[in-house]
């Protein structure tokens, strides 16, 4: 009987059309996800005006989606390791497409918030699954680059929302940008057909024919035999209690540090995505100029993600992230002070690179840290716990805006979490993880 190690096949595979296809579909899903998430911040000034809500209440309206994302990331990230990743991704796309579109029909804050909560389940749930998918099938030498390149679609979605949103809101009202978000539901059958299933799930359900086809796509020289037996390293096999495994083999402390980093980074990301338009409008910029800042923020996020992934494949990913978080603290703080407009655009771009981009690199880091069998679970719990920071951000910054504090204090409140996140990432310990993948990934040497 011939034993085939799928983990080794995936690690050592040469980049091919198979990888290009996985990257394309995962990136497209993240673009849809990024659009659905950014659209509320883009439309927020118009929604506040039409519904007559205060900044504090508007913060709660935005946070309703983030609250849904917390539950979605934990539940749909964990359940994917049991029902299969493709089905979990399809469920998520259906949720965020249908209910984001439904929010466009809302005429009061409560209905809007309920629809955004339901959409948030899908928005939050899809992230850990596509990160796990991309991590699982990327060749080891370019894994960080592949994951961050895929996740840069999140910034592309945010830019799409800013560009499309400006024209649609002016011509058809804020509802139109939400209705446009319903289109991805039409792609669910194609995505189900095109994406490969997760390796541990195929092995657990003993789908030998599909495993042979997968092995042939990873290694063109592979020739299936009737007695082929597929296996994964011990730490990558399916576990009966995946949540508990996040705290086994010396991973407990680092798991908590990942949660702290996610909390702090998501606080910054959603504080900026939800309130940058309003803060800049309050500083005297027109709505069009304020939306341009959102575009620059997401453009910076895309470059930060790709650049951070490239650096993480060549240096220790932990120290790359520490540097990125410290850059976030500096650039966001400086946004609160009077500077020439060109300098301000540079600072906004750097803020995007070091918050949105850094969050994407942090996803790549946590995806590489955990064994394959609990990868979706590990990413899902880190993302889910971090969502509490995302939930608090619009509310906290909304309260500060309502207090009419100086602009620099608002941005200082957004910048301080970056220092805490840098310290948390610095404390992550690979030497106590006691599992193969963390030692195998370039740029992730033991402490």
User: Residues 182-196: pLDDT tens digits?
Assistant: 888 888 999 888 888
Q: In whole numbers, what is the pLDDT of the chain averaged over residues?
A: 77
| Range in 85-89, 146-150, 352-356 with the lowest mean pLDDT | 146-150
Determine contact, residues 13/139, Cβ cutoff 8 Å: yes
CATH code of the region 2-440: 1.20.1250.20
Give the span between the Cα atoms of 437 and 36, in whole angstroms: 33
Give me 248's structure tokens. Answer: 């086994």
- pLDDT at position 285 is 63
User: Residues 228-272: pLDDT tens digits?
Assistant: 666 655 554 444 446 666 766 667 788 888 899 999 998 888 888
- pLDDT at position 325 is 92
Q: Residue 130: which of 328, 298, 379 has the closest Cα?
A: 379
- pLDDT at position 232 is 55
Q: Where are the domains of the chain?
A: 2-440
**Greater model confidence, 13 or 121:** 121
C-alpha separations of 1 from 4, 7, 8, 224, 226 in Å: 10, 18, 18, 12, 9
Determine contact, residues 38/153, Cβ cutoff 8 Å: no
pLDDT (mean) for 345-354: 88
Give me 176's structure tokens. Answer: 């139109």
The residue ranges of DSSP E strands in 191-316, in sequence order, are 228-231
User: Residues 135-172: pLDDT tens digits?
Assistant: 888 887 888 788 888 877 877 887 788 777 777 777 77
Q: Please tell me the pTM assigned to this model.
A: 0.71
In this model, does residue 420 exceed pLDDT 90? Answer: yes
- pLDDT at position 438 is 37
Residue with tokens 């198979």, as numbered in its chain: 18
Residue with tokens 């009061």, as numbered in its chain: 108
Bridge partners (DSSP) of residue 4 are 230
Provide the Cα torsion 108, 110, 116, 117; round to 10°: -170
Q: Where is mean pLDDT largest: 97-106, 132-141, 227-236, 269-278? A: 97-106
Determine contact, residues 193/86, Cβ cutoff 8 Å: no
Give the percent of the chain with pLDDT over 70.
81
3-class secondary-structure state, position 3:
strand
- pLDDT at position 418 is 92
């Amino acid at each position: 009987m011939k034993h085939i190690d799928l983990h080794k096949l995936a690690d050592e595979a040469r980049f091919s059309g198979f990888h290009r296809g996985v990257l394309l579909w995962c990136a497209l899903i993240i673009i849809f996800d990024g659009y659905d998430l950014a659209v509320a911040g883009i439309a927020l000034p118009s929604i506040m005006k039409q519904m007559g809500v205060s900044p504090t209440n508007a913060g709660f309206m935005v946070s309703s989606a983030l609250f849904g994302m917390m539950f979605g990331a934990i539940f749909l990230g964990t359940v994917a390791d049991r029902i299969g990743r493709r089905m979990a991704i399809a469920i998520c796309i259906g949720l965020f497409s249908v209910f984001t579109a439904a929010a466009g029909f809302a005429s009061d804050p409560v209905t809007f918030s309920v629809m955004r909560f339901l959409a948030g389940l899908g928005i939050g749930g899809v992230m850990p699954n596509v990160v796990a998918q991309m991590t699982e099938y990327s060749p080891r030498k370019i894994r960080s680059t592949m994951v961050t390149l895929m996740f840069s679609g999140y910034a592309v979605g945010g830019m799409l929302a800013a560009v499309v949103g400006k024209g649609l809101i002016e011509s058809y009202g804020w509802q139109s940008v939400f209705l446009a978000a319903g289109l991805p539901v039409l792609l669910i059958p194609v995505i189900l057909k095109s994406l490969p299933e997760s390796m541990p799930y195929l092995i657990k359900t003993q789908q030998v024919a599909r495993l042979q086809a997968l092995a042939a796509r990873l290694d063109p020289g592979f020739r299936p035999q009737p007695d082929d037996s597929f296996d994964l390293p011990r730490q990558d096999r399916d576990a009966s209690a995946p949540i508990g495994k996040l705290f086994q083999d010396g991973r407990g402390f680092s798991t908590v540090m990942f949660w702290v980093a996610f909390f702090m980074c998501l606080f910054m990301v959603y504080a900026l995505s939800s309130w940058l338009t309003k803060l800049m409008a309050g500083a005297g910029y027109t709505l069009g100029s304020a939306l341009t800042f959102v575009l620059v923020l997401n453009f910076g996020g895309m470059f930060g993600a790709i650049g951070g992934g490239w650096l993480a494949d060549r240096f220790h990913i932990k120290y790359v992230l520490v540097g990125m978080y410290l850059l976030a603290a500096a650039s966001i703080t400086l946004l609160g002070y009077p500077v020439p407009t060109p300098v301000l655009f540079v600072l906004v771009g750097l803020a995007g690179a070091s918050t949105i981009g850094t969050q994407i690199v942090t996803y790549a880091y946590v995806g590489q840290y955990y064994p394959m069998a609990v990868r979706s679970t590990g990413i899902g719990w880190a993302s889910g716990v971090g969502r509490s920071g995302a939930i608090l951000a619009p509310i906290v910054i909304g309260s500060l805006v309502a207090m009419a504090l100086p602009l620099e204090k608002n941005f200082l409140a957004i910048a301080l979490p970056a220092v805490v996140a840098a310290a948390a990432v610095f404390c992550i310990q690979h030497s106590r993880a006691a599992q193969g993948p963390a030692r195998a990934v370039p740029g992730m040497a033991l402490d």
